[in-house]
Structure 1
Amino acid sequence: MNITTLGEARFPSPQRRTVNDQARVSSHLIRDPDAPPVEELWFELAGPRARLFFDPRQTRAGIVTCGGLCPGLNNVIRSLFLELHHGYGVREVLGFRGGYQGLDPARGMEPFVLTPAFVHDIHKDGGTVLGTSRGPVEVGVAVDHLIRRGVNILFTLGGDGTQRGGNDLFQEAQRRGHPLAVVGIPKTIDNDVAFVSRSFGYLTAVEEATKVLHCAHTEAHSVRNGIALVKVMGRHAGFIAAGATVASQDVNFTLVPEVPLQLEGETGLLAALKQRILQRAHALVVVAEGAGQEWLAASGGKRDASGNIKLQDIGPFLRERIERYFQAEEIPVTLRYFDPSYLIRSVPADAEDSILCDFFARNAVHAAMAGKTGLVIGLLHDLFIHVPIELLVSRKKHLDLGGPGWRAVLAATGQAFGEDAGPIRTTPVSPSAT
């Protein structure tokens, strides 16, 4: 996986320990001789290089946060600045405000000039001090603005749409001959980014979702025939639902996008839920937001400002179907519905995610100062890597239904309804389908 470099690295690095630029990490940790051949990719190992492309004394960097909130954004901003400022002596770091709109002077606000005092306590709060928005910016206008501001490095914190936008900025700067290093840091609590074994904010989101499950279980368990239905985030992958289920150990049914939802019939969810109520008089159901979309009216291909296909709301649909089913069965139930979607993403990062944010940020700085561009920092086998943006946004990561994570869900819930959809792994997608 070759990474674009802006040119010859001529300046000595102030970093004492550096990484060989030829070091590579394989995409596969285990090779099964009995399994069919699989694509093997080799990625650049992230870390400080011995020589830099940019002279730190003449370098100005920018940071932008885009899309939805995620625990740890402020941690990443803080660590980016601290590594640039203290680790390399970069002269100035700008914080562009309001997402990509901040790169358009006609729409955006004046950027912050980051200082040690400015970032001192920001990691203790959720959200992003820079603000965020969805949607792209006109590439030519943004590059004009970056050139006018004298920005040499841009760090883009966001999901697929954000990184595609970063790639467009890098390509436009290349066409103009402007040496702009664009380095992305993948951001999503859904944990569905390819070549990133765990995205920052995911474990914090799971922890917060687990707290909600505990409350929901208390509600269901405290009344006769109580049912608690909890909807969590997860558009295309059920990692939060699965992780919270295993952490909670109180969930009885976990519904994820990777498994088609069988609702009706003797082997469907409703029949299984009835048996649970008759036997135990309470139940806890967790559903990821992207699950069961086949039961809902199509959105007609409508997309949000980030280019994501708009999902229909599975939560109220499932609540109505469960209530109607038990009414028809003449079994009185008390159903409580919980939707903590935005609650679990707006909190500060926990200790584990705070450490991960710091590592992502510092490796992004190392790559940018060496003149590497058009890449996103990835994480495989506990090693940080450089992933070309075009490769990263070409595929999604999904729950492996044959792997230990999903097996743990089945063991914790004991659910046995519907059909086994088989293992689903990282699969290519077209950019328009993301």
Structure 2
Amino acid sequence: MANMLIVHGGAPTAVINASLYGAVKEAKKHGCIDKIYAAIGGSGAVIRQQFLDMKTVDEQRLELLPFTPASAIGTSRDHLEPEDYQAIARVIEKNDIKYVFFNGGNGSMDACGKVYSACRELGVDVQVVGIPKTIDNDIAVTDHAPGFGSAARYIAATVSEVSQDVRALPIHVSVVEAMGRNAGWIAAASALARSGNGDGPDLIYLPERPFIEEEFLADVKALVEKKGGVVVVASEGLTGPDGKPIVEPIFQVGRATYYGDVSAHLANLVIKKLGVKARSEKPGICGRASIAFQSSVDREEAILAGAEAVKAAVEGETGVMIGFERLPGAEYAVRPIRIPIQQVMLTERTMPDEFINRRGNDVTEAFVEWCRPLIGEPLRTFVTFKNDL
């Protein structure tokens, strides 16, 4: 018998604990696994050997995991140097750990690959498997990643409610800012808020297309004249034709970027240049790990990803990440696949051209059809009598 270790990395989500749950439940089925260690506090906790054996946790508490927001074991954005990966490999060997799982986004998959390489270099016999997690949906190769479906549901539901507000009192432009540095998947998902009753979002701006201020103002002006109230969704990572952020980042070190307030900037443009009332809304991390808007599909797939990672490791797979392949057919279905970790390490997946309209201020129906199954149950249906006259 040998031990296993699971590590959470990067920003939390609404379903990262569901993947932890899936991994723990699956590990308990295998007699070759003794202790089920969880690193309490992310990758740095591995070096400090801050481990909790999940087998000692009461079953009733474990059952709360799929419905608990963020990370129950803690996560981190620890910057690891080459010597740190060597240290992690030695800790793995010292604690008789045979199976290692990194549950996180691009940075965590990079760490997963580097731990895998460090163990090979030192001759440490271990199976290393990645479990994808990101609200941004920017992990390569896999159809989508656990965490995105819930974030998509949150932004769609929130924009749906904002749109009802603006339709009821159509006197201003509401600009909602969505998370997503270089990939516009979350902002794009706001399109699912549309009911066909003329509600918003009216405009969606993604970082995959250069933001052109003149076109934005022209679009807003035309919509204000037509509707009175307008709902705009903008990604936090918008850049101009010169490739520079439209609002200078407040702080930036390496991959860590703290963006300026894009929604406030756009609202101010509308006020100053069009003379129209405007408001900015920035849900921010409210939607990152919201259990209230957790997608049931996202939750079940996160559990599946955790379980499949353990299965892969026990079967002798190493240096891979669990991903999803969408199956053809009218009904939504996926199957788990095993992707070589080198194919996903720090490779950012952005919105493809076929999901973005030609003018760059909206998404296509192809994207809506692709995204709709991921948010789970249909959003609430609202009624309006403003179109009855």
TM-score by length of structure 1 reads 0.73
Structure 1 residue 133 corresponds to structure 2 residue 133: no
When residues 347 and 299 of structure 1 are mapped into structure 2, their CA distance, relative to the original with a 3 A threshold, is: closer
Q: SS where residue 163 of structure 2 aligns?
A: helix
Instruction: Work out the CA distance in 2 between the residues paired with 1:228 and 1:286.
Output: 8
Residue-by-residue CA offset, 1:48-98 (whole Å, 9 max, x unaligned): xxxxxxxxxx12001110110111111110110110112555211011011
Is the 8 Å Cα contact of residues 216 and 338 (structure 1) preserved in structure 2? no
Structure 2 match to 1:393: 345
When residues 405 and 321 of structure 1 are mapped into structure 2, their CA distance, relative to the original with a 3 A threshold, is: closer
Is the 8 Å Cα contact of residues 246 and 408 (structure 1) preserved in structure 2? no
**Cα shift at 1:140:** 2.2
Q: SS where residue 278 of structure 2 aligns?
A: strand
**Cα shift at 1:313:** 3.7
> Unaligned regions of 5+ residues in structure 1, if any?
1-57, 328-332, 413-434
1:279 is matched with which residue: 199, 218, 226?
226
Structure 2 match to 1:119: 62
Is the 8 Å Cα contact of residues 247 and 262 (structure 2) preserved in structure 1? no
Structure 1 match to 2:45: 102
The 5 A counterparts of 1:194-273 are 194-249=140-195, 250-264=200-214, 268-273=215-220
Instruction: Work out the CA distance in 1 between the residues paired with 2:251 and 2:285.
Output: 24
1:360 is matched with which residue: 294, 301, 305?
305
**Cα shift at 1:281:** 0.7
RMSD: 2.5
**Cα shift at 1:309:** 4.9
Structure 1 match to 2:118: 172
Is the 8 Å Cα contact of residues 303 and 310 (structure 1) preserved in structure 2? no
Q: SS where residue 353 of structure 2 aligns?
A: coil
**Cα shift at 1:299:** 5.1
Is the 8 Å Cα contact of residues 220 and 336 (structure 1) preserved in structure 2? no
Instruction: Work out the CA distance in 2 between the residues paired with 1:252 and 1:103.
Output: 47
Between structure 1 and structure 2, the one with the greater Rg is: 1
Is the 8 Å Cα contact of residues 109 and 346 (structure 2) preserved in structure 1? no
**Cα shift at 1:315:** 2.2
Aligned length: 342
Structure 1 match to 2:354: 402
Answer with 387-396 or 181-190: which moved more: 387-396
Instruction: Work out the CA distance in 2 between the residues paired with 1:248 and 1:192.
Output: 24
Answer with 85-94 or 170-179: which moved more: 85-94
Percent of aligned pairs with the same amino acid: 20
**Cα shift at 1:129:** 0.8
Structure 1 match to 2:236: 289
When residues 408 and 336 of structure 1 are mapped into structure 2, their CA distance, relative to the original with a 3 A threshold, is: closer
Structure 1 residue 86 corresponds to structure 2 residue 29: yes
TM-score by length of structure 2 reads 0.81
> Unaligned regions of 5+ residues in structure 2, if any?
327-333, 366-389
When residues 87 and 392 of structure 1 are mapped into structure 2, their CA distance, relative to the original with a 3 A threshold, is: same
Q: SS where residue 273 of structure 1 aligns?
A: helix
